[in-house]
Amino acid sequence: MADTLTGIFNTTCKPALDQCSQTSSDLACMDAIGICDNNILGGVVDSSDFNVYDLRKGSGDTFPLETFQTYLRDPSVMTAIGANKKYQECSDVVNSDFYATGDSTSIQMVSELQGFTSP
């Protein structure tokens, strides 16, 4: 499977990441995210039983527990840490901004991936 994924990376994902890196265009970087997600990440996640946040666990694992959100939203905790907004695990606004600018295909990561070779 590693050889197959490496081949897919080299023929579909890497060229899109290179285009993102070379142009620094939001559109090119958004395209790279979609191409890499659709051709590599989506297939791995769909065909495997693991938690993307903890590979040792199955996909049904509920780590991290949601209780930390209640704790972080407690007014006394908010006061103690100087928070002026209620904790939100993943802001839709921030997530949309990251996606719209292609930030998850950072130039540094593209450079690191270009030197990647299959073990």
pLDDT digits (tens, 9 = 90+) for 86-117: 888 777 787 777 777 766 665 555 555 555 55
Q: How confident is the model at residue 15 (pLDDT cuts 50, 70, 90)?
A: very high
How would residue 80 be classed by pLDDT, with cut points 50, 70 and 90?
A: very high
* Position 119 in a domain: no
Sequential DSSP letters for 82-93: T--S---SS-HH
Residue with tokens 């997600």: 37
Closest CA to 100 of 33, 23, 19: 33
Residue 112: its pLDDT value, please?
56
What is the tally of structural domains in the chain?
1
Residue 14 lies in a domain: yes
Return all residues near 51 (Cβ < 8 A) that are at least 6 apart: 57, 58, 59, 61, 63
C-beta separation of 32 from 16 below 8 A: yes
pLDDT per residue as tens digits for the range 18-42: 998 888 788 888 898 889 888 887 7
Bond into 119 cis (ω within 30): no
pLDDT tens digits for range 43-72: 777 777 777 667 677 777 776 667 888 899
Query: Domain residues for 28?
Result: 2-114
Burial of 7 (0-12, 13-18, 19+ CB in 10 A): exposed
Residue 61 located in a structural domain: yes
Q: Is residue 91 part of a domain?
A: yes
Q: Find residue 54's DSSP bridge partners.
A: 51
Nearest partner of 104 among 54, 11, 31, judged by Cα: 31
